[in-house]
Structure formats: structure tokens, C-alpha cells
Structure 1
């Protein structure tokens, strides 16, 4: 069970933010269900209303009818109880890599948050089951492929429903095992889903929204690290800090762009820097860095609202209005906002990767790096002839950048008509989110390469001339010197790259307070 001293995140229908989901995904917080009578009675009222409708021969989609195109098929009363089992069973056709443990925890938390809104007609026991999976880290093995993003993430979420019922497989305590075994060992009895509960678990946007929360957090780190690396590269390449002048940016009021320029001024102590009379203007990858990174910054501000709106929504179908005694059939499972958010975010992130790639191309080229050795080689004397510095690293960074750019084709425009044309307009939100995570993975590799280059370039510049570093850059330089060796003799850098990618995801560097 999760550590009792960790912060508690209470699920009671109140709004949560992206950081709460990320904290649960990273096991820095514990999920708990509100045990107040008011909340529990509100949840139970929905389940009781569904039960009463069934007793009165009411018609409810997915409860007394088949699913999707089969909504005209009437389910005999004696078979209604079996229907949830059939729903998650026939959706057991996922493929591809399994979601990571962090992604799976996020999925469980996001689905729990949606059902905690109290309009899905589910029982308290179902919510407690999801909480149990999170608290005891019983993680359904969820294939990442197979969702078109409406009716929600049906196929991947079927693996959550099945595990709650003791079926399929989980990851528990580092081992893959049957769900029934893990539930038994962790102290939970398998559920028997009530009418509507299978649909409530599966017919929603939990997978795409969970991945979007994780993507947002990683994208925020990309923006911050790209800004810090740019500051280091300005110094390493003898660039011009006056490109980030406050008065200059005051006349173009994009908030994200201004924020990046302010961070660069903070790093470079350049409120009113002198002009470099030998070179009035640097190339775009330095001069326009706030404009490129600023797009990502502004996208993050806008997309946070979209992602958190989806996170805090009830997004299954039908919605159960127990107080008004109505069953509302609609399409809240449609993940269009998340799809667009992820398509936009991956494009903004990939553009930052391209910016870093361009900075590196200048930094390693003796024609453009203003006095540094070719390929940033640290070798000196006769040995310089056989050493190649960061030549291959620049090639790899270029390859990762190209692949990231390739993945920016929007997924949200590739709607397919599925399920006998019932699902004839779908969001592709989960594919967009997976693409965004792949772009982030590649961009984090690009940034890892850039960190190596910035550390190398700064050290080589300091061989040529003394540099007055601000305290924050001195601290960053010391951290990098501790993590990244100076490349004087040719060496394999793959291990260093992996360490730096992990450091980004763990957010080990203090990168700006605002």
C-alpha cells in the first residue's frame, strides 16, 4: 500500500489539476475516497435510480439495450445483469505496447475523477475498487493501441473493467500475474459489475486525458530546459544578450514569449546589455528563441484549461441525473478537445526540438561558433587530429529532431467511420496523445544532447576568455559538470544521454520559479 505519510488527494467530485494526476502517477501522493455521508449518498443515489428504472421496466441505453449500433436490440430482463461482462469481454482486443506504470496510474485516477462527479449511475463499491487499485498499485496491463477516441477509450478501458472483476492480467510488485491473484493478495474481492457500470468505466476519455496530463507536465519541463540551454548557448557561442531586452519584448505582448525572454534576462543578467559591435544580430535560433519557445509556453497556458476541463468532466454515456430523475443520452465520450490539444502540443514541442537542433548545428560548426573548436572537441595538441568531439551526437540529434517533426501530422483529422457507422465521427484523441508522448520522448533526447553540448561549449569558451556567470548559471554549470564528463577523448555518450533524459523526467534541475 502507498506510504501513509504521502499527501492525500481526495476524490469527491471537486476539481483536480494536472499536477494532482501526475503526483498520483509518480506515487508522490495517495488517492483516497471521500467518506462523508453527503458524497457517498450522492453516488449511491445514481445507482439506486438506475436500479429503480430497471424495476419499472425503464429503457436505458447500454443497460436494457445493446451497445452502439445495437441500441435497438432489447435485452431480456433476465440477461441484463450479464451485459457488463460481455462489454468488457468483447473489447479485449487491444494491441501494442502496454501503458507504463505511470500512465496506468494516471488512467485509474482520471477515470475515478470522472465517476466521482456522481452522474454515472455507479455504486460506491466501484469507486472503492478503483481506489484500491491505486492504493495497492495493482496495475491493469493496458494495451496502448485500439482506441478511436469515441465512444471514448473503450478497448483500453475494458482492461480496467476486467481487472476489477478479477480477469486478465496486472502488474503488481514488479511481477506480471493474473488479476484474481493480485486482488486476492492485496485484500480485494473481485467486483460483479452492476448494470451501467461496465459502460461507465469504459465509455469515457480517461486514457487520452491521463496521457495528456503527463504530456503537459513533460512539455512544461521541455520549455524550461530549452530556455536554460539557450542561455548557456548564448554564452558558449559569444552571442548577444540584448536580443532579449525587456523594452523590445514589450511591443509584442504574447505572454509566453515575454516570459521566456524574462527568464533569459534572469539567467544572463541582461536587463540592459551592451550591443556586440562585431555582430549586431545572432542567427534566428538564438535571437528568436523566445518566439519559438514562447509558442509552447502560450500553448501550455491554453491547453491546461482544456485538459483540466476534460479531467473534471463526466464523460460517459448516458448521464444519470438522479436528482432530476432523467437519463440523458449524449456524446460526452467524444475526445475532440484532448485530440486537438495533443496535436497542438506535439507541434509546439517538435518546434522546440528543431530550435535546439539548429542551435547545436551552429555550435559545432567552426564557421559559426565564433572561435570554438570544430565539433566542440576538447582534445588539444597532436591528439586533436584523431578526436571528433560531438560530431556523431549532432547527427543523432538531427535524426531525433526529424522523427519528432514527422510525428506532428495531426491525428484528429483522421476520423474513421466505425461500428456499423454508429461511431461515424471520432476524435482519435488517444492516438494524438500517444503521438505527443513520442514527440516528447524524442525531444527529451534532443535536449539531452543539447545539455552535453552546452556543457562542452561553455567549458571551451572559458578556455578562451573568462565568463561572468550569474549565480543560477554557475549552479547549473556545476550540476552539469557533475553529471556530464568533458569530452576530450572520443567516448560513447549513450549512457550520459540516458542519465540526462531521466533527469529531465524527474525534474532534478531547478528551472525557474515562474
Structure 2
């Protein structure tokens, strides 16, 4: 990614940001807060728990069974074995595994939650997660199997298993037995103390990790879609007065105003000659600030939800070592992340739909103000057999339709489970996974749209309808950057590899676009 990776992220000190999680996900190292005050807070929680156990106090998940089995008392001689059983019986995840970046993000989000100092875990457990981050060892975590309350139990069991040397990890690009990697690197597995299995697994860290990744991808897509919209407007010989400052002053959504300002900046150049007699462009151009701006305006609110969850203690029970209380509650419930991701995926799918409509205009000779059929670059007697971006436009339609299909909110599909103990659940992890899929599909749409918009501008140049005087510095720079890696389509050729290449560029956030106004 184009953002500089901070070399070391400190846990247990200041609040972490989405960018801190991204830094760890992309390779930054971790360290614990070395202050005496932080270490003492951790120690007080552990000491309080140990004293309660000696006094035979009743603590959910420590001296009782889990979930609906909370009425089952655990004999004192079996208390130490209970967390091991919790990690093992939850080893039933299915589906594709989280990728390396996503798994590192999970390590960061769980470490952040446990570092709040109210989960009753030891320095040894915190240090073991730091070791995994710094040695670049990530647990193999299947994506499917969480209902988002009691948190991400099944996927987080794979993190717990890695800490104790069980199951598998990803190391040096390969899936290997955890025990073998530990033996190779001289890492000793930890033994979970009575509350530590529950503290590791009973939380929202998988959905929150994925939400952090989704947020940054969405933030970039908003900017890229704005740039593509400017390119399409120029290629279509559209009207730049649709983005006038005075116009947007009377509808004062700040994100919408930001998008209009970026469009004005991109289109601030001499107007080219036009074949269009339309006073008003169709909605996909004229209302672009309103569509993209709705997402831009949601970003501060979404950041607040995600970062509050990130910096929360979200397991159960909470161990208040300072006041020597065990607080039983439901902080594992992932409703805020579910709401954030259901909202974000809808906004991003609308961006895919916006680009799809722009591309439908751009490639249709009936609407594109004199551009060739399907943006074909063929000339003379070669024209009849060349079809340019015809199939790409069909692909854009397909990817958009699939993105729109995924916008059904996951949070409304709560299901009663686990003997009706978990009778209202968040589905936050499914919402996060849905959002990532919508982002991927929209990045495919954006990749194709960027190439088509570039092709349109080149066609205008070839036909002497556009020159450098008609393009702002930002537009000229973007055009040159794309053309440095993409050949103008004069004769039909397979475009799959071009599309994949530019999709990777988008996911790497390869181009600096606008000065960020938020975050």
C-alpha cells in the first residue's frame, strides 16, 4: 500500500486506529506497553482471579461450563483442563481460510482487546501473540462458523490453538503444523490458565479485523470512483457545472461537498469542443457526488463504530481487578460491526452500480456523443470485426449484479442457537465477509471502468476532440500512469490480465489520488 507502514505498534497504551491494525496486517511489528502501571493492571486481574479460585468462587467459563452449560459446575480438579476443551471443541470451522493479511489483522485486534487489562489474561499470553506477530506466524483460520455472538468463538479458537502449539499456522507462505514451526524457531507453547481460553475466543476480533481492512479499501474506492467519474465526464463531453460550488453550498452534506470539490478540481481546465446538446447529463454523472458522497459522509461514523469496538474489552466475563469484581455481560455481541458492515457494503454496491451506469453510457454510441461503438480503437476496414470493450461492459454488469445481490443485511438473519442461550446473535462476521466480497466485486468494476475511461480519452485525442489544454494536471497524470501499464486497444485482444493487473493496483492503493479529508 502507498501509506508508510509504522515499524512498531504499541499495545496497551493509547487507543489504536484502523491504520494501526492495517500496519500490523501489512507487516509492522508489535510491542507491549512496558510501563509499570500497565503491567500492574494486568497483574491485578490475574491475582484477583487466582484468589477467587482458591476461595472456590463461581465464575462463568472458569468454574462453570460454557454457554447454556453455565449451570454445570466444574470440579476443582478439572478447572485447569476446561480452557483446553473450549479451544478443541470449537475446532470445526469450514470454508476458505483467512489470508495472511487478514490473519495478522486478527492477531492485532485480539491483542488490542486483551490489552485493555480487564480480561484476566497473563503477560505470557499477551507476549505469545506479540511473538506470532513479530515472527510472522499466523494461525490458519477458516472463515465460516461464527454467528457473531458469543463473538467469533470458532474462528478465534484457531488463534487460541496456535498459542498452545496445536493445529496449523501459515509460516513463510506455507501451511505447517504449529508444533513443527515452534520446534524450528524454539518457541514454547503456553498453557492456558482457567479464564484464558474464554478470554481469547469470546470476542469480536475476527469481524473487527475484517472491518478495519474493509474500511480502508472503501475509503480508497470512494476516491478512485471520483477520479473515474471525472474521466468519464470528460470523455462523454459532460457538463462540469453540475459540480459547481454554489450549487453544493445549498445541500451541505460535507462528504458530498468534498466529492464535488474533487470533481471540480479534476475538471478545472479549458472546455473541449462538444457534440452534446444536453443541458443536463444523465444521473450517473450529474448525481455522482450524491451517490459517492453518501459513502464519504458515512466514513466518520463507520470509523467511530469500528475503532470503539477495536479498543473495547469484548469478552465475558469482564475481570475488574481494580475493584475486585467479576462482571457478567454480553460485550461479545458484534452488533456495531454488523451495522457498520451492512451499511458499508450497501454504499459500496451503490458505487459499483454508479460505475456500471457510467460505462453503459460511455460504450453505447447512442449516448456517448460521438465515441466509437464499444470504445473500439479500430480504423478503416478493420472496424467491422473489432468489438472493443463490448464484453468488458457485460462483465461490469455481471460483477455489479453480484455486488448488489450481497447487500441483504446479514444482521437481520439472527438465529437462535446453542440450546437457545445464544437466542439473539449479531451475524457481524458474515456481514464483514459480505462487505469484503462486495468490495472485491466493486474493485473489479473499477478496474474495468478505469481502463474504459482511459480508452475513451485516448479516442478523443486521436480524433482531435481533446488535447492537453483540456485536461487538469491530475487528469493528465492519471492518464499517463494508466497508459504506462496499459496499451490502447486498437485491435481486439483478451483483457483479463490487464483487468487483474489494475485490480491489484487498486487493492495496493497504488496511486495517490486526493488529499484525505477524513481520518
TM-score using structure 2 length: 0.96
Could you tell me which residue of structure 2 aligns to residue 484 of structure 1? 486
1:213 Cα deviation (Å)?
Answer: 0.2
Could you tell me whether the CA contact under 8 Å between 1:240 and 1:275 is conserved in 2?
no
Q: Distance in 1 between matches of 2:9 and 2:89?
A: 34
| SS, match of residue 484 in structure 2 | helix
Q: What displacement does 1:9 show? A: 0.7
8 Å CA contact retained: 1:245, 1:270: no
Q: Which runs of 5+ in 2 are unaligned?
A: none
CA distance in structure 2 between the aligned counterparts of 1:186 and 1:281, rounded to whole angstroms: 66
What does residue 453 of structure 2 align with? 454
Partner of 1:129: 128
* SS of residue matched to 1:502: helix
> SS of the counterpart of 1:417?
coil
Other-structure match for 1:315: 314
Q: Does the 8 Å contact 1:13/1:118 carry over to 2?
A: no
Query: Cα deviation per residue 1:277-313 (whole Å; 9 max; x = unaligned)?
Result: 8221000000000000011111112100000000000
Cα RMSD, aligned residues only:
1.6
1:74 corresponding residue in structure 2: 73
Q: Distance in 2 between matches of 1:166 and 1:237?
A: 60
Superposed, 1:430-509 pairs within 5 Å as 430-464=429-463, 465-467=465-467, 468-509=470-511
CA contact under 8 A between 2:272 and 2:466: conserved in structure 1? no
Secondary structure at 1:304 match in 2: helix
Shift of residue 36 of structure 1? 2.1
| Structure 1 Cα separation of the partners of residues 370 and 270 of structure 2 | 26
SS at match of 2:434: helix
Q: Look up the match of 1:23.
A: 23
C-alpha displacement of 1:466: 2.7
Distance in 1 between residues matched to 2:227 and 2:278, nearest whole Å = 22
Question: What are the Cα deviations for residues 131-162 of structure 1, in whole angstroms up to 9, with x where unaligned?
Answer: 11111111110000000000000000000001
Match of 1:396 in 2: 395
Aligned partners of 2:42 and 2:121 also within 8 Å: yes
Q: 1:342 to 1:501 in 2, by over 3 A?
A: same
Q: 1:93 maps to which residue? A: 92
Q: 1:53 to 1:270 in 2, by over 3 A?
A: farther
- What's the CA shift for 1:6? 5.6
Check the 8 A contact 1:171/1:177 in 2, yes or no.
yes
Distance 2:370 2:37 in 1: 70
Partner residue in 1 for 2:230: 231
Per-residue deviation, 1:207: 0.2
Contact 2:13–2:33 under 8 Å retained in 1: no
Map 1:23-42 → 2, pairs under 5 A: 23-27=23-27, 29-42=28-41
Other-structure match for 2:327: 328
- Deviation by residue 1:349-397 (Cα, 9 ceiling, x = unmatched): 0000000000000000000000100000000010011110000000001
Give the 3 Å change call, closer, same or farther, for CA 456–271 of structure 1 in structure 2: closer
SS at match of 1:435: helix
Deviation of 1:32 (Å) = 1.1
Distance 1:50 1:13, change over 3 A: farther
Change (3 A) 1:136 1:268: same
* Alpha-carbon distance in 2 for matches of 1:466, 1:343: 42
Distance 1:95 1:407 in 2: 20
Alignment of 1:59-208 (within 5 A): 59-208=58-207
TM-score (norm: length of structure 1): 0.97
> Is the contact between residue 24 and residue 105 of structure 2 (CA under 8 Å) also seen in structure 1?
yes
What's the secondary structure of 1:483's corresponding residue? Answer: coil
Q: Which runs of 5+ in 1 are unaligned?
A: none
Quick check: 1:265–1:271 contact (8 Å CA) kept in 2? no
Between the aligned partners of 1:49 and 1:322, the Cα distance in structure 2 is 6
Measured in 2, the distance between the counterparts of 1:442 and 1:463 equals: 32
SS in 2 for 1:412: helix
- Structure 1 Cα separation of the partners of residues 11 and 187 of structure 2: 19
Map of 2:258 onto structure 1:
259
Shift of 1:187: 3.1
Residue 231 of structure 1: CA displacement? 0.4
Structure 1 pair 71/453, CA: closer, same or farther in 2 (3 Å)? same
Map Cα deviations across residues 36-93 of structure 1 (whole Å, 9 max, x no partner): 2221121121111111110111110000000000001000000000000000100001
Q: How many residues align?
A: 509
Within 1, Cα distance between the matches of 2:265 and 2:7?
Answer: 33
Shift in Å at residue 273 of structure 1? 12
Shift in alpha-carbon separation, 1:251–1:123, aligned structure 2, 3 A: same
Contact 2:237 2:276 in 1 (8 A): no
Partner-residue secondary structure (3-state), 1:305: helix
Aligned-residue offset at 1:255: 1.1
Distance in 1, Cα, partners of 2:340 & 2:19: 17
Change (3 A) 1:304 1:321: same
* Superposed CA offset, 1:2-60 (max 9, x none): xxx96211001420110110111111x21111222221121121111111110111110
Which range is displaced more, 349-358 or 459-468?
459-468
